[in-house]
Amino acid sequence: MGTIGLLGGTNWSETARYYRLAKEIIRQRPEGGRLLLDWVDDHELEYLQVTVEWDAAAAMLVERSQSMLEGGAGAIVLCGSLHPEVSWRVMRALTVPVVALHEAGTQEDVAAALRQVSALLPGAPAAGQGAR
């Protein structure tokens, strides 16, 4: 699976929930995988989104994403309540696959996001080839 960065949740308990769900999914996969986790100040991010400061909100997330890329992440999953204008800006700023997981309610939501970014990681098997 490679290394995937999980960025955020809009509060620490939501971040912990995303991490727990992702870890359970990775544990079930024969190829395993590695997760990196980071989150941002939820009050500051919420303020930037409410005041329509899309660029500033995205810059905060891009900065944190860059640190995960330096740590070996080959893809980023944006977790939590992000406005699509913010997610879009982050996706355009980064050179790796990014999936926005807006308010995932179930383990299947998290599993779908991990499948998406896993398929886009360098060295991932082509569609229909299965895991290596």
What is the layout of strands, in order, in the sheet containing 75-79?
34-38, 3-7, 75-79, 98-101
Is 28 inside any structural domain? yes
Q: Domains in the chain: how many in total?
A: 1
Give 116's pLDDT tier (boundaries 50, 70, 90).
confident
Is 128 inside a domain boundary?
Answer: no
What is residue 32's predicted lDDT score, i.e. its pLDDT?
A: 74
pLDDT tens, residue by residue, 36-67? 999 887 888 889 999 999 999 999 999 999 99
Per-residue pLDDT tens for 19-29? 888 888 778 77
What's the pLDDT score for residue 57? 94
Average pLDDT taken over every residue of the chain: 82
Backbone angle region of 126, left / alpha / beta, with phi > 0 → left and psi within -120 to 50 → alpha: beta
Judged against a pLDDT cut of 70, whether residue 103 lies above it is answered with: no
Q: What is the CATH number of the domain that holds 29?
A: 3.40.50.1860
Residue 12 in tokens: 């620490």
pLDDT reading at 114 higher than 80: no
Query: Does 132 map to a domain?
Result: no
Token pair 């810059």 is at which residue? 59
- As a whole number of angstroms, the distance between CA 17 and CA 24 comes to 11
Average pLDDT in the 83-102 region?
Answer: 90
Cα 39 from Cα 80, distance rounded (Å): 10
- Structural domain range at position 74: 3-120
- pTM metric for this prediction: 0.81
